[in-house]
Amino acid sequence: MNLKTAVTRREHFNAAHRLHNKNWSDEQNRGVFGKCNNPNYHGHNYELEVKVIGFINEDTGYVIDTKMLSDLIKINVLEKFDHKNLNMDVEEFKNLNPTAENIAMVIYRIIRPLIEKQYELKIKLYETPRNFVEIPY
């Protein structure tokens, strides 16, 4: 019997951001984004969970090698995001508001092509211990 199995790698990064819609007035931005619109940015300790779903390989006993998955996340996501100002330092957010939703979507787009097609991929991103987003859902 070979059931679909999920393997999750948890990683961490911290980064600064500012939520802002440049098409809106300052007042409108403050109204919608509150403290997250602070002009001088603020930081979060993000917890990232990358879940790979597939079948257990008979030869290895693995769904996916977690060391390989960990390296892939480190090289392609953490080196890009960790200790960065997302608005200023990360190309993807030059014209995209770095909400948890959009950060998770960008991470999905980075990792999806790097994982073989036979696997499903789910991203869970905690912006605070109480707030997290999941994509795709």
Q: Based on CB atoms, which residue is closest to Ni ion, 52 or 135?
A: 135
HSE-up (13 A, CA, CB side) for residue 15: 28
Q: Is 48 in the site for Ni ion (CB under 5 A)?
A: no
Which of the following is catalytic: 17, 20, 44, 127? 127
CA pair distance 107, 64, nearest whole angstrom:
19
Give 37 or 54: the residue with its C-beta nearer to Ni ion: 37
- 36 contributes a contact to Ni ion by CB under 5 A: yes
The amino acid present at 100, given as its one-letter code, is A
User: Is 134 in the active site?
Assistant: no
Q: Which two tokens stand for residue 31?
A: 């109204």
127 included as an active-site residue: yes
Alpha carbons 80 and 71: distance in angstroms, whole number: 13
We find the least distance from the C-beta atom of residue 56 to Ni ion, in angstroms, to be 39
Choose one: 28-36, 48-56, 89-97, 115-123; the region binding Ni ion (CB under 5 A): 28-36
Strand residues in 18-111 grouped as ranges (E): 42-54, 84-85
Q: For residue 15, state whether it binds Ni ion (rule: CB under 5 A).
A: no
Nearest approach in angstroms of CB 116 to Ni ion is 34
The span from the CA of 59 to the CA of 78, in Å, is 31
* 103 belongs to the binding site for Ni ion (CB under 5 A): no
Rounded Cα–Cα distance for residues 75 and 7 (Å): 19
Question: Least separation, in Å, of the C-beta of 30 and Ni ion?
Answer: 14
Return residues touching Ni ion (CB under 5 A).
36
